[in-house]
Amino acid sequence: MKDTLLKEAVKMLDYSYSPYSNYKVGAAILTDTGKIYTGCNIENASYGATICAERTAAVKAVSEGEKRFTAIAIACSGSTFAYPCGICRQFLYEFCVPGMKLYLIKKDGETREELFEEMLPYGFRGSDIN
């Protein structure tokens, strides 16, 4: 399943809308039911309206009823790994299961694997504030 997830993230680079930065990002999320949801970064002239590839994929998954993510792959057009930004880390934390895998893919095809929890060691969920 890892190879499929990586390929799907790379495929999403072709759909990136990044006319301002020319930095393409693709993401693929694996849910606990085995479904894969994909996304790409979508920039906007009003920079605050830009949405990252990770959140695009997550919103698609949640809007289809999937709320437990077991892995995410993030591909980029750059020469360094594209880690999720702070907003994406917190957004994804809401739906990640313990031990969720994070796969990163650079332009040259090099990959890295980490645990998602390492990206946001003090993340919180809505249930934590009630």
CA nearest neighbour of 71 among 20, 111, 13: 111
pLDDT of residue 8: 98
With cut-offs at 50, 70 and 90, classify the pLDDT of residue 115. Answer: very high
Domain of residue 35, residue span: 2-128
% of the chain exceeding 90 in pLDDT: 86
Which CATH number do you get for residue 69?
3.40.140.10
Q: Which of 8, 43, 54, 66 is catalytic?
A: 54
Reading across the β-sheet that carries 25-31, which strands appear in turn? Answer: 36-40, 25-31, 69-76, 96-105, 111-115
pLDDT value, residue 119: 85
Beta strands in 32-95 (DSSP E): 36-40, 69-76
pLDDT of 130 strictly over 80: no
pTM for the full predicted model: 0.93
- The whole-chain average pLDDT of the chain stands at 94
Tally the domains of the chain.
1
Is-catalytic flag, 113?
Answer: no
Q: What pLDDT digit, counting tens, does each position of 81-91 carry?
A: 999 999 999 99
Q: Which two tokens stand for residue 50?
A: 């830009």
The answer to whether residues 58 and 92 touch, using CB atoms and an 8 Å cutoff, is: yes
What pLDDT shows up at residue 6? 97
pLDDT band at 66 (very low <50, low <70, confident <90, very high): very high
* CB burial of residue 71 (10 Å; 0-12, 13-18, 19+): buried
